[in-house]
Amino acid sequence: MTDAQSLADSLADGVVAADADGRVTLVSSVAAQMLSIEAEECVGKPLEDVLALQDQEGNHWFSTNRPYEGLPTRTAVPEQSWLVPDGTEVLVVARIHRPALHHPVSSVVVSIRSGRGRARLDRERSDLVATVAHELRSPLTGVKGFVQALLNRWDRLSDDQKKLMLTTVSVDSDRLSRLIAELLDVARIDTGRLQLYPRPSDARVLVGRVVDSARATTSRTIELVTADDLDDIQVDPDKFTQVITNLVENGLRHGDGTVTVRLEPVHGTPDFGDGVQVTVDDQGRGIPVELRRRVFTKFWRGGERGGSGLGMYIVHGLVRAHGGTVTIDDAPGGGARVVLGWPCEDRRHD
């Protein structure tokens, strides 16, 4: 076995190479398996015959892309989706080599990759569309229903009824705004385009506002325990508020008792030095150890009480973007505990 063949066989992707005459010079073991052929028997055969790839309409890769023709500046065939003989989708890309510009093609190397990764991304996109549709439908239905009732029955409704309907419309509109903000943050986190505007901030003030707002929307008890010697933290106040809001709402959604938010100072931590630790405890079922890494992935839902499945993914992304830490543990009285570490200094580039 030649060194080139050994190297090609060691690659995760399939490789098929052909010479200047379009005759196959190498077929890796992975490519042979994908194409359902014998590698050694294909050497010397036309690339067009060996590379048995078709699309959904029966077109062939070789005749469609014509790698030995075209402009002399052509150096590659971009990634495309094709089907191997057993109907499995693969992603195919090719490099076209010439000894110099305007010289004839000296060799063509085709790389074949499993399409499972593409399929997984497609499923994630479908999940995203389904999640967005489901989450948007509920508040939109409420907004439409109450607005229609106000338009049709305005003269017959009392002022209290009108106020109740308009308040509900306002609440549902806020839900829609939060969902859109979540989706935008997911896109920015995924693409590395998240913009932060950190400044020295008092965590007690920011967390206090979140807790006061949450208390106004629930009959459940939300306790806030804060230490007196807290230093300011370097955060984007809007993003910090978003993180704490998500955690408090999760505690209310997945727990049945009190939600406790605790702030205390930390010093000399190995991750970020001095800062503030925010702990949120609920009294729900908790999160099993084996599932805790999955909590921070998109579309994870821990329970049967709804939610977009994006909240904890965003929490993790925003905290890490600040140079902080986030971990999950068991709450002392049962339930889940989420612990956030926020640095006093700007640690975004650490």
Query: What is the residue-wise DSSP string for 267-282?
Result: EEETTTEEEEEEEEE-
- Count Cα neighbours of 328 within 13 Å in the Cβ-side half-sphere: 20
> Binning pLDDT at 50, 70 and 90, where does residue 122 land?
low
**Residue 273 CA, distance from chain mean position:** 29
Q: For domain 199-343, which architecture applies? A: 2-Layer Sandwich (3.30)
Mean pLDDT in residue range 196-225: 92
Close Cβ partners of 227 (under 8 Å, ≥ 6 residues apart): 263, 264, 265
pLDDT reported for residue 1: 60
**Greater pLDDT, 57 or 131:** 57
Topology (CATH level 3) of domain 3-114: Beta-Lactamase (3.30.450)
Q: SS3 for 107?
A: strand
Task: Using a pLDDT cut of 90, give the percent of the chain over it.
Answer: 47
Judge whether residue 134 has pLDDT over 80: no
Mean pLDDT in residue range 246-256: 86
- Count Cα neighbours of 85 within 13 Å in the Cβ-side half-sphere: 11
pLDDT reported for residue 302: 61
pLDDT reported for residue 136: 75
pLDDT reported for residue 194: 84
pLDDT reported for residue 235: 92
| Helices of type H across the chain | 3-9, 29-35, 39-42, 47-50, 61-65, 116-153, 159-191, 203-215, 237-254, 311-321
The domain 119-191: what is its CATH number? 1.10.287.130
> Binning pLDDT at 50, 70 and 90, where does residue 340 land?
very high
Which token pair is 140? 């939109």
Judge whether residue 138 has pLDDT over 80: no
- Among 165, 130, 72, 138, smallest CA distance to 309 is for 130
pLDDT reported for residue 280: 94
Mean pLDDT in residue range 203-228: 92
* Contact indicator for 79, 93 with CB cutoff of 8 Å: yes
pLDDT reported for residue 348: 75
Q: SS3 for 83?
A: strand
Q: Which residues pair with 112 in a beta bridge?
A: 14, 92
CA separation for the pair 52, 60 (Å, rounded): 7
What is the rounded (10 degree) CA torsion for 201, 205, 206, 209? -160
Q: What is the pLDDT of residues 62-120, one digit of tens each?
A: 999 999 998 888 899 998 988 988 888 889 999 999 998 888 999 999 999 987 766 66
Q: What is the mean pLDDT of the chain?
A: 87
Task: Count the Cβ atoms, other than its own, within 10 Å of residue 194.
Answer: 18
Judge whether residue 180 has pLDDT over 90: no
CA separation for the pair 302, 215 (Å, rounded): 23
Q: What is the pLDDT of residues 7-28, one digit of tens each?
A: 999 998 999 999 999 999 999 9
Mean pLDDT in residue range 194-222: 91
pLDDT reported for residue 286: 84
Which token pair is 203? 């965590």
349: DSSP letter: T
Domain parsing of the chain, residue ranges: 3-114, 119-191, 199-343
Q: SS3 for 200?
A: strand
pLDDT reported for residue 87: 84
Close Cβ partners of 137 (under 8 Å, ≥ 6 residues apart): none
> Binning pLDDT at 50, 70 and 90, where does residue 274 land?
very high
Close Cβ partners of 184 (under 8 Å, ≥ 6 residues apart): none
pLDDT reported for residue 171: 82
Close Cβ partners of 189 (under 8 Å, ≥ 6 residues apart): 313, 314, 317, 318, 321
* Contact indicator for 322, 241 with CB cutoff of 8 Å: no
pLDDT reported for residue 294: 80
- Among 256, 218, 235, 274, smallest CA distance to 336 is for 256
